[in-house]
Structure 1
Amino acid sequence: MGVPASNEHIPSLRRVGETVYVGLQLPLSSAGGTDIAEQTDQVFRSLVARLEEAGGTMADLTKLHTYYLFAGDGADVTAYWERMTAVRLRHLANPGPAATALRVHGVGHGQALIAVDGIAELCRDKQRIMPEHAWDWSIPTPFSQGWRVGEKIYVGGQISADRQGRTIAPGSAVAQTKNTLEYIEHVLHDAQVNWANVCALKIAYKHGGDAEASRQLGASIVAEVARRFPAQRPVITVIGVDLLYEGLLLEIDAVASRDVGLPVRPEYAASHVAPLAFSPGWLSGGELYIGAQSKSDAGQLEAQLEGALAGLAAVIRASGASVGDLVKLNVFLLPGESTETVHRVLERFLSPGRTVVSIVQVAGFLVDGQKVQVDGVALPEQRS
């Protein structure tokens, strides 16, 4: 899983104008053994190095995704996250990025416990967003609830928690979804936008041992989210994971723009139809957000991935762009599926040196039989 730090076909970073996209950074196979603190230090040193290569620093990091592994439960999860985060704090700027941290099933080599990717914005027109009505982490951190950069707004992962990081409405999907959306709404409000300005949503729902019950949980969360969008709906990615605080069922992050934008709907029949009329693509401010694409009826992993990528390409073409304009690609797949197959398919699909990639194993998807899905960001009018 993941991508090597240096790959001629798949770069570790891509700078376009004042925006830097950093692909998944992994610990070295020999780094830290199975110690989360040492591995965390290694991946954040790698992230710092990538930003410096692009002419930036950690102070420019605007959105951070952390994917980590831990098999425990209850309070042990929070203690593990706090140990990991104590190391992250040594590398983060203050104020820090809007952040999303998800417990997943695999990243990189067999001993990898953590991986990170992110987006840095080098321009000066920035506003940190810290609403009065917000949750907070269980320990002091410099993380931000959101950032406005020019016309674009990044919303960090929002959860149903209080100011001490304690879950609100544990076990209740509807109540937690409403609380989480309310926190997102306050970030949007402070950035002087609303739900009509949302371009993309990522929903991570708790996927436990009962796959069908987990899918029903995920579907109920998506249905509640859909109610916030009576008209046009943004793109959406939905993945089954585990969550940080005990009793949590979901985490949602978002990207919005003061340029409301338009949905992009390709005619290509193989394109995945997003649930509840969420848009396959959303074009705003010169950026194309591509929602999760999948082809669960295609059989084995290679065919499913090729079908998903065909759907993604159809969305890109419908916007007037090409696959070479794809700057960021996320690949989520089930545990045990071949990452070698993923790399082989991507080398056939991607334009060399144009797209940073993150490959992560997650617990499940909303559709039975689905093995993989992809989403991404393309720039139809690239500035470099």
Structure 2
Amino acid sequence: MPERSYAWPEGHWDWYQHLAFKHGVRAGEMIFVGGQVDKTPAGDPLRPYDLASQTEVVIRHIDTVLKEFGASLRHAVKLIAFYANDGSVDEAAFLARIGHHVLNHTGASIGGGLAITLVPLPCLALPGMMVEIEAIAMLGREGERLERITANPPELPPLPLPFSHGVRCGGHIWTSAQPSPSRQTRIQSPGDLIAQTDAAMTHTKQILEALGADLDDTVNLRTWYRGDGTRETWALAARQRAAYLTAPGPAVSALPTPNLPEGHMTRIDAWAMPGANGNRAARTYADLRDAWQWPLDLPQVAGLQCGDMVFVGQQVALDANGQPIAPGDLMEQTRQVMTSTRDVLAAFGLTLDDMVKQNSFYQGEADPETIVSNQRYRSSFYTEPAGASTGVPLPSFPLEALMVSVETVAMARHGHTA
């Protein structure tokens, strides 16, 4: 039974209103850190529009949260960095800066062993906020740093330390987003969404194979693509990804990201859970009647359980015919996605209070009122203390009239393991 503990470091930054979510949660060997930002304990942004200074502070905040569990950045296995980019940010330099600050906390001896995904956006939740980074770490039962294996296939551009294209730790594998920013190589097929989706899936497959797994071991697949909020663009990438997946596939999230660097059309990262000795790990899938559906038949699932882990793919406000519910109504669509998230978890005998990490993407700009309303409403579905959360605004979603997308990771407690 994974024991739960929660972290809220003394004097740490806060939101504008009290929420059930905590900065970090540990369950067994897994630690999840919600999106960290540069704010005061009263919720006000600090060092506005200064990406370099905010990045240093945010990395320090992640380390502070991890230390509440007896861990540190040395134990991190995956980072996702959301950052504001109007086209003026050198992504490769930004990636190197994150690595520099991580190494300052861990020491150069850590080498590789950390996967990362960069997600450039028009803005973050508040004016002047430039970066929000979330983390996953693994800590042994006795507080030891668990052994990890890294993969950096020679055909892929090198990443700056301490980052690797793939990391295997315990029964888990995380990949860095493909394609990855690099000073050494130019993006393949600039402007071609289908070709870049094909390349990203091929790279992900190569990384997984180097770590003794394959795409069928994937439990969670995230896609960021240069989209315009239309079904046509979403369908192009969705069909291409689907060609690499076997039904029933992983839980999937796919979101338009119009601020990818020039020529870049998509980024894809994966979380896989291979079995021992080359065997496929057992998994079960959510069997939901009358559930909402995408307007395409895709080899992805609403939710799956593998071991103690339960992954709920992105939930959006569609009906059983793939049509939007309550178009343009953020709060009602939020209610719909939280209700469908609860229903998926219930298929595994779990509740929303078994959540360890949730990401909410909502239509909006850098506006306190929007994020406060969305946070407060989502928080009301949970019993305090709740797991870690990240909330990020987007200008559009995969289909017209959608306003919000929520993805969730939960962990089964005693009596619910598959």
Per the normalisation by structure 2, the TM-score is: 0.82
Q: Sort the Cα spacing of 1:30 and 1:350 in 2 relative to 1 into closer, same or farther, 3 A.
A: closer
Deviation at 1:341, TM superposition (A): 1.9
**Residue of structure 1 in register with 2:22 after alignment:** 11
**Residue of structure 2 in register with 1:131 after alignment:** 152
Deviation at 1:108, TM superposition (A): 3.5
Decide whether the 8 Å contact of 1:195 with 1:228 is kept in 2. yes
- 1:198-246 CA-to-partner distances (Å, cap 9, x unmatched) read 1110000013xx543xx42332111111111233211100111145543
Q: Sort the Cα spacing of 1:80 and 1:377 in 2 relative to 1 into closer, same or farther, 3 A.
A: closer
Q: Sort the Cα spacing of 1:80 and 1:157 in 2 relative to 1 into closer, same or farther, 3 A.
A: closer
Report the Cα distance in structure 1 between the residues aligned to 2:334 and 2:21, rounded to whole angstroms: 17
**Residue of structure 2 in register with 1:104 after alignment:** 121
Q: Which of residues 400, 405, 411 in structure 2 aligns to 1:368?
A: 400
Q: Which of residues 376, 386, 402 in structure 2 aligns to 1:354?
A: 386
Report the Cα distance in structure 1 between the residues aligned to 2:122 and 2:131, rounded to whole angstroms: 10
**Residue of structure 2 in register with 1:329 after alignment:** 358
Decide whether the 8 Å contact of 1:197 with 1:257 is kept in 2. yes
**Residue of structure 1 in register with 2:5 after alignment:** none
- 1:13-72 CA-to-partner distances (Å, cap 9, x unmatched) read 001112110001111245222211111111111111111112111111101010000112
Q: Sort the Cα spacing of 1:291 and 1:3 in 2 relative to 1 into closer, same or farther, 3 A.
A: farther
Q: Which amino acid aligns with 2:124?
A: V
- 1:163-187 CA-to-partner distances (Å, cap 9, x unmatched) read 8242011112222112111111111
Q: Which amino acid aligns with 2:248?
A: Q
**Residue of structure 2 in register with 1:222 after alignment:** 238
Q: Which amino acid aligns with 2:234?
A: G
Q: Which of residues 302, 309, 313 in structure 2 aligns to 1:280?
A: 302
Deviation at 1:160, TM superposition (A): 7.2
Decide whether the 8 Å contact of 1:21 with 1:118 is kept in 2. yes
Report the Cα distance in structure 1 between the residues aligned to 2:291 and 2:373, rounded to whole angstroms: 21
Decide whether the 8 Å contact of 1:104 with 1:360 is kept in 2. no
For residue 353 of structure 2, give the secondary structure of its aligned residue in structure 1.
Answer: helix
Q: Which amino acid aligns with 2:190?
A: P
Report the Cα distance in structure 2 between the residues aligned to 1:359 and 1:272, rounded to whole angstroms: 24
Q: Which of residues 262, 267, 283 in structure 2 aligns to 1:251?
A: 267
Report the Cα distance in structure 2 between the residues aligned to 1:23 and 1:306, rounded to whole angstroms: 21
Decide whether the 8 Å contact of 2:358 with 2:407 is kept in 1. yes
What are the within-5 Å matches in structure 2 for residues 1-384 of structure 1? 4=15, 9-28=20-39, 29-72=44-87, 76-77=88-89, 79=90, 82-83=93-94, 85-86=96-97, 88-92=99-103, 93=106, 94-123=111-140, 124-136=145-157, 140-159=160-179, 164-207=184-227, 210-212=228-230, 215-242=231-258, 244-259=260-275, 260-267=281-288, 269-271=290-292, 273=294, 275-277=296-298, 278-295=300-317, 296-299=324-327, 300-336=329-365, 338-381=370-413
- 1:68-126 CA-to-partner distances (Å, cap 9, x unmatched) read 00112xxx44x265156425412244325100010123334211011110100113443
Report the Cα distance in structure 1 between the residues aligned to 2:344 and 2:378, rounded to whole angstroms: 17
Report the Cα distance in structure 1 between the residues aligned to 2:138 and 2:291, rounded to whole angstroms: 34
Report the Cα distance in structure 2 between the residues aligned to 1:262 and 1:159, rounded to whole angstroms: 29
Decide whether the 8 Å contact of 1:281 with 1:288 is kept in 2. yes
Which region of structure 1 is more displaced relative to structure 2, 373-382 or 197-206?
Answer: 373-382
For residue 192 of structure 1, give the secondary structure of its aligned residue in structure 2.
Answer: coil
Which region of structure 1 is more displaced relative to structure 2, 326-335 or 347-356?
Answer: 347-356
Q: Sort the Cα spacing of 1:30 and 1:307 in 2 relative to 1 into closer, same or farther, 3 A.
A: closer
For residue 224 of structure 2, give the secondary structure of its aligned residue in structure 1.
Answer: strand
Give aligned pairs, total. Answer: 373
**Residue of structure 1 in register with 2:6 after alignment:** none
For residue 158 of structure 1, give the secondary structure of its aligned residue in structure 2.
Answer: coil
Which region of structure 1 is more displaced relative to structure 2, 106-115 or 19-28?
Answer: 106-115
Decide whether the 8 Å contact of 2:375 with 2:391 is kept in 1. no
Report the Cα distance in structure 1 between the residues aligned to 2:60 and 2:75, rounded to whole angstroms: 15
Give 5+ residue unaligned stretches, structure 2. 1-12, 276-280, 318-323
Deviation at 1:264, TM superposition (A): 2.3
Q: Which amino acid aligns with 2:385?
A: G
Which region of structure 1 is more displaced relative to structure 2, 81-90 or 37-46?
Answer: 81-90
Decide whether the 8 Å contact of 1:203 with 1:237 is kept in 2. yes
For residue 245 of structure 2, give the secondary structure of its aligned residue in structure 1.
Answer: coil
Report the Cα distance in structure 2 between the residues aligned to 1:83 and 1:348, rounded to whole angstroms: 36
For residue 374 of structure 2, give the secondary structure of its aligned residue in structure 1.
Answer: helix
* Same amino acid, percent of matched pairs: 23
Report the Cα distance in structure 2 between the residues aligned to 1:111 and 1:122, rounded to whole angstroms: 34
Deviation at 1:274, TM superposition (A): 8.3
Which region of structure 1 is more displaced relative to structure 2, 225-234 or 195-204?
Answer: 225-234
Report the Cα distance in structure 1 between the residues aligned to 2:91 and 2:52, rounded to whole angstroms: 10
Deviation at 1:266, TM superposition (A): 4.0
Deviation at 1:147, TM superposition (A): 1.2
Deviation at 1:132, TM superposition (A): 2.4
Q: Sort the Cα spacing of 1:192 and 1:380 in 2 relative to 1 into closer, same or farther, 3 A.
A: same
Which region of structure 1 is more displaced relative to structure 2, 270-279 or 59-68?
Answer: 270-279
For residue 357 of structure 1, give the secondary structure of its aligned residue in structure 2.
Answer: strand
Which region of structure 1 is more displaced relative to structure 2, 177-186 or 307-316?
Answer: 177-186
Q: Sort the Cα spacing of 1:155 and 1:276 in 2 relative to 1 into closer, same or farther, 3 A.
A: farther
